């Protein structure tokens, strides 16, 4: 029996008339030449990747290595390709067992291969646990945060821009610059917290220090903590350059190890994705204990749209982006905050703003593509382009959201002493 061509295998998974043209290394092709989308299977390794990991993980491995490509692809910003792939979903079908067996036999006839994953792929969850890196333990958090953030400050600056702010910006209009929109977001957080000069702020997961810097410029005494050595180095230099050493400090420290208490405000911006749903109660109890009575918390995090969606990220995100990352619905998060003893006084969804933020990051990566590839290699540069474009698409499709929760720790006099609108009146 003759082995199947790649095009014949593809026909098993796509109904006739799918709006795609696929060209394969074996000379076979699928679909019409004038289809709106052309994909190229460049070599046999792409097939073996997908046979060994028939999921998003196998597809990602092939894409990152350049084994799957497209003449329409902009690797720093593959968003347009995502849009073209969406119509294919309605053409997908599952082969029957006999067809699948025939396809696998065709692959096996060329020998059994298990190609090594890309060098940039992280270990599986099971392997991390076997090495003692339990999810959301101090050691586990340190390892996973370092994996994501200790890449290269220079690389991050290529797409984040001068603000070095790796969370959702807030745009007054789509024409607003990324830097101005990130300043808007920081001002929004600080205005919601309504801290006065001389009061004390703790920024948990402070990144490269942009929030700490802006708080100090307002006269607020700001302490930031992060588990990334690269971020600490950048932030400490930035603080010195701004001459804010008397008001701003960034430490390499787990938030659980911060010895100070009685803060006037705490913010957690883009940190909760690393905490893990089961650890939310202990996380908010830790924050509650570090705040003065009457002080406020601003918690900003990516969320699921509802509680029926799973908490854990897929294999691609777990291996390549945020190991042990978990997302919950806004209702689940607010319930834990309230159960801790806080009163939630404002909740805001910034979903559309994050989509636009990601588009700007992709545009920056495209503009610096050659330098990015020289610095970190093409697979890693492709990874960040893919990740950011995929996130932008999912925010736009309302598959994920991002919420800010403003909460106050009650005092003996109740919580009616704060301004009714301590942030932008026109926001």
Q: Are the C-beta atoms of residues 402 and 354 closer than 8 Å to each other? A: yes
Best CA proximity match to 381, nearest among 142, 74, 86 = 74
- 117-162 pLDDT, tens per residue? 888 888 766 676 776 655 555 655 555 555 555 568 999 999 999 9
**CA 413 remoteness from chain centre:** 40
pLDDT value at residue 8 = 95
Question: What pLDDT was estimated at residue 135?
Answer: 54
Give the pLDDT score at 143: 54
pLDDT of residue 339: 97
DSSP letters of 204-247? ET-TTSHHHHHHHHTT-EEEEEES-HHHHHHHHHHHHHHT-TTT
- Burial class of residue 416 (count of CB atoms within 10 Å of its CB; 0-12, 13-18, 19+): exposed
Strand partners, 252: 226
Close Cβ partners of 311 (under 8 Å, ≥ 6 residues apart): 277, 304, 326, 327, 328
Pick from 387, 377, 370: which is nearest to 151 by CA? 377
| Model pLDDT, residue 180 | 97
State residue 110's pLDDT score: 85
Give yes or no for a contact between 290 and 261, defined as CB atoms under 8 angstroms apart.
yes
Which residues does the chain have with pLDDT short of 50? Answer: 424-427
> Of all helices (H) and strands (E), which one includes residue 41?
strand 38-41
Q: Is 398 left (phi over 0), alpha (psi -120 to 50) or beta?
A: left
The two three-digit tokens of residue 356, written as one number = 């636009």
Residues contacting 105, CB < 8 A, separation 6+ = 3
CA distance 350 to 120: 31
Enter the DSSP assignment of 277: G
Q: Cβ distance 394 to 302 under 8 Å?
A: no
C-alpha span between 269 and 225 (Å, rounded): 12
Q: Are the C-beta atoms of residues 118 and 48 closer than 8 Å to each other?
A: no
How many residues are given for the chain?
427
| Rounded-to-integer distance, Cα 326 and Cα 223, Å | 26
Residue with tokens 């329409």: 72
pLDDT at 426: 46
Virtual CA dihedral for 273, 275, 281, 284, nearest 10 degrees? -80
Contact between 65 and 386 under an 8 Å Cβ cutoff? The reply is no
SS3 of 345, please?
Answer: strand
Q: Residue 113: what pLDDT?
A: 86
Q: At what angle do helices 153-160 and 229-242 cross, to 10 degrees?
A: 70
CA distances from 423 to 129, 195, 199, 334, 406 (A): 43, 11, 17, 20, 11
pLDDT at 317: 84
Would you state the structure tokens that stand for residue 403, as one six-digit string?
């919420």
């Amino acid at each position: 029996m003759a082995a199947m061509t790649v095009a014949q295998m593809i026909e098993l998974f796509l109904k006739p008339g799918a709006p795609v043209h696929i060209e394969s290394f074996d000379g076979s092709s699928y679909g019409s030449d004038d289809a709106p989308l052309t994909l190229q299977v460049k070599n046999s390794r792409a097939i073996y990747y997908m046979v060994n990991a028939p999921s998003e993980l196998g597809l990602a491995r092939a894409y990152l290595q350049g084994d799957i490509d497209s003449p329409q692809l902009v690797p720093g910003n593959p968003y347009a390709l995502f849009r073209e792939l969406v119509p294919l979903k309605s053409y997908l079908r599952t082969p029957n067992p006999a067809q699948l067996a025939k396809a696998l036999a065709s692959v096996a006839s060329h020998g059994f291969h298990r190609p090594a994953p890309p060098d940039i792929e992280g270990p599986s969850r099971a392997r991390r646990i076997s090495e003692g890196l339990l999810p959301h333990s101090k050691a586990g958090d340190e390892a996973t945060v370092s994996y994501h953030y200790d890449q290269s400050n220079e690389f991050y600056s290529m797409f984040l821009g001068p603000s070095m702010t790796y969370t959702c910006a807030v745009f007054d209009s789509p024409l607003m610059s990324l830097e101005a929109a990130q300043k808007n977001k920081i001002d929004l957080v600080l205005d919601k917290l309504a801290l006065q000069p001389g009061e004390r702020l703790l920024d948990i997961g402070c990144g490269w220090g942009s929030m700490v810097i802006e708080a100090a410029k307002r006269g607020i005494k700001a302490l930031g903590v992060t588990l990334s050595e690269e971020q600490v180095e950048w932030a400490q230099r930035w603080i010195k350059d701004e001459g804010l050493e008397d008001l701003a400090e960034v430490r390499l420290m787990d938030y659980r190890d911060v010895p100070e208490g009685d803060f006037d405000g705490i913010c957690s911006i883009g940190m909760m994705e690393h905490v893990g749903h089961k650890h939310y109660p202990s996380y908010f109890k830790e924050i509650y204990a570090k705040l003065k009575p009457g002080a406020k918390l601003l918690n900003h995090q990516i969320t699921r749209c509802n509680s029926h969606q799973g908490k854990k990220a897929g294999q691609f995100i777990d291996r390549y982006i945020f190991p042990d990352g978990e997302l919950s619905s806004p209702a689940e998060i607010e319930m834990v905050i309230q159960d801790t003893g806080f009163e939630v006084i404002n909740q805001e969804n910034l979903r559309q703003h994050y989509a636009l933020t990601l588009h700007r990051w992709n545009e920056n990566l495209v503009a610096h593509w050659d330098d990015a590839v020289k610095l970190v290699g093409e697979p890693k540069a492709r990874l960040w382009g893919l990740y950011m474009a995929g996130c932008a698409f999912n925010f736009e499709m309302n598959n994920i959201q991002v919420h800010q929760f403003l909460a106050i720790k009650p005092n003996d006099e109740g919580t009616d002493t704060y301004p009714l609108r301590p942030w932008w009146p026109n926001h």
